[in-house]
Structure 1
């Protein structure tokens, strides 16, 4: 997996490593171990045996029989019923990660995306490795189509959708009210998946007095829809992927800019408070400000003039990286303005050139020159 990096296991975990010198596939290895009878029965009931016996490679975080016994009474029996096959398959797939991920890889990350689609959290505390709330008790059981790590509890994927998750959190009351007023509850409760950059109640409270009340009025429904869909991206985009991509196109149609600076990560000008909150149909990232979409056909000259005025102050104060980030965000804003093709091409060329500049000072000047040239072209028309 491309999100995993090599790292050395601690001596204590290495001592717990089990190596099977006569490797079989994952299912046969589990059957032979004798302590995964419930897991094997569940894999059969879920129709996943062929998958787990296939080429892979796969990494399985395997709960023991004792782990399944810790579930509430009757849970296993209910899951094994034919009518619950899809739910059981989802739970088991949540224990499987694509690729052969050895213990040395696991301890170097904070999360891993599963075959089920959601991400498991990985936490290392000394010699203890936790996968969600389960403790890894044995590692690196080698199979010819992957590897098994043994865990002491069954881990469960999120089963509430984005709206239900937001309601349950208790800190998104304004956002939930806005989603209802905009008629987006059904959309955000649907299959998705979606990624939502969710402003807290405190974020909405930072807006000018009366703004929220005005937006909730029926006559402002379309404006509210535009603002809310500007916070939503199609697909399940985890924080590491968002940072790598640097931009994300929203359901509203305009793009968001993702930056990482000395003070942390930002989405446009909003700070990321919490990330990678899974739901059954997507993922939520919490932000501390409400994002406002750029107006189509916005005054490009005014946007450039304002950005240069603010950026010059940052640059002269020695904040070159912040200046470059501001100019980058401005360029993305201009991409959503109604500009003629030659100016759009100019924007694209300048941004591509800036991406190759690793020095913040050089990047800031590259973007500044591009905006100066664009301003001159606009002024001549």
Structure 2
């Protein structure tokens, strides 16, 4: 009797966790005679991704031919357009540069296919050597670097996941990346203020966002940066870098700490922690009456993630 009770309880728990998800269940199941490449070629929403695969000549790649199965995280045509890549651009795009983008979307194994349940957050292997994109699955669905899978097809030689964004592989560090955005120049100047040779015991955020920290007392390899725009700083009285001179070193570091956190946090993680509502760009972070809005999200760097926000978090 006790054994039967335990079995029933275990089944109930399993059913509970399987049912507690907003993830869209795979609606397309295909027979083994249809491959991932064939599926992508015939999907009207994946013409850009299909053209990219043809452009980089994936079918001739020995690694691809001799390995598998793979999961294709295929951005929709709308996602490519949002990233500034249309069909004509892709057909003339530099092959090696395009290969780095596309290979970062082709991951080893069957991810999110039928029977692939459970919640997880992992760094997965991709066709792009030494690049480990973050794949997560939570209550709200399956994500690649924060880009949500909107539909899936379980096929004979792998899985195709349609995603709502282009997960560009980050080749530069957070520190290098944010310096390429003119609208983040004030945030860059604020971070520079944390570097102070007279107080070596304080956190140097230029170093943290460039190479991480690895000391006996602190292991901090990856970060997430919420980056306020120049307009956001101007609204609270910081219009030029000299305005930061009003802050002492402790205040500078305290302000930066409001915007830099440990490890990767994509929008999928903010959804899971209820800091972000589905379909909203308002991030419930900080003590202000009005929360910041996410202007640009899931910018992948080699050592973390970047999001651009419209407000300084106080």
TM-score (norm 2): 0.51
Q: 1:158 and 2:170 equivalent?
A: yes
Q: Which residue of 2 aligns with 1:143?
A: 156
Q: Which residue of 2 aligns with 1:188?
A: 209
Partner of 1:266, secondary structure, is: coil
The structure-2 alpha-carbon separation of the partners of 1:203 and 1:156, relative to structure 1 and needing over 3 Å to count, comes to closer
Q: Which residue of 2 aligns with 1:285?
A: 307
The answer to whether the Cα contact below 8 Å between 1:100 and 1:147 also exists between their aligned partners in 2 is: yes
Query: Cα distance, 1:5 vs. partner?
Result: 1.4
Partner of 2:72, secondary structure, is: strand
The structure-2 alpha-carbon separation of the partners of 1:61 and 1:177, relative to structure 1 and needing over 3 Å to count, comes to same
* Greater RCO structure (CA 8 Å; 6+ sep): 2
Q: Which residue of 2 aligns with 1:338?
A: none
The structure-2 alpha-carbon separation of the partners of 1:235 and 1:209, relative to structure 1 and needing over 3 Å to count, comes to closer
Distance 1:62 1:263 in 2: 23
The answer to whether the Cα contact below 8 Å between 2:149 and 2:162 also exists between their aligned partners in 1 is: no
Q: Which residue of 1 aligns with 2:284?
A: 266
The structure-2 alpha-carbon separation of the partners of 1:179 and 1:49, relative to structure 1 and needing over 3 Å to count, comes to farther
Count of residues paired in the alignment: 225
- Counterparts of 1:98-247 in structure 2 under 5 Å? 99-101=110-112, 115=125, 116-117=132-133, 119=145, 121=147, 140=153, 142-143=155-156, 146-148=158-160, 156-183=168-195, 184-190=205-211, 192-208=221-237, 213=242, 215-216=244-245, 220-246=248-274
The structure-2 alpha-carbon separation of the partners of 1:117 and 1:216, relative to structure 1 and needing over 3 Å to count, comes to farther
Q: Which residue of 2 aligns with 1:94?
A: 105
The structure-2 alpha-carbon separation of the partners of 1:180 and 1:42, relative to structure 1 and needing over 3 Å to count, comes to farther
**Runs of at least 5 residues in structure 1 that lack an aligned partner in the other structure:** 80-87, 104-112, 130-138, 247-257, 293-381
Q: Write the deviation string for residues 172-223 of structure 1: whole angstroms up to 9, x where unpaired.
A: 1110111122232232123643111111112212324699645347x82343
Partner of 1:285, secondary structure, is: strand
Distance 1:97 1:278 in 2: 22
Distance 1:274 1:73 in 2: 29
Q: Which residue of 2 aligns with 1:364?
A: none
The structure-2 alpha-carbon separation of the partners of 1:216 and 1:282, relative to structure 1 and needing over 3 Å to count, comes to farther
**Runs of at least 5 residues in structure 2 that lack an aligned partner in the other structure:** 1-17, 41-52, 76-86, 115-122, 126-131, 135-144, 196-204, 213-220
The answer to whether the Cα contact below 8 Å between 1:172 and 1:200 also exists between their aligned partners in 2 is: yes
Query: Cα distance, 1:117 vs. partner?
Result: 1.9
Distance 2:110 2:249 in 1: 46
Greater share of helix: 1
Distance 1:239 1:263 in 2: 9
The answer to whether the Cα contact below 8 Å between 1:204 and 1:289 also exists between their aligned partners in 2 is: yes
Q: Which residue of 1 aligns with 2:7?
A: none
The answer to whether the Cα contact below 8 Å between 2:225 and 2:260 also exists between their aligned partners in 1 is: yes
Query: Cα distance, 1:229 vs. partner?
Result: 2.5
Distance 1:263 1:143 in 2: 37
The answer to whether the Cα contact below 8 Å between 1:167 and 1:173 also exists between their aligned partners in 2 is: yes
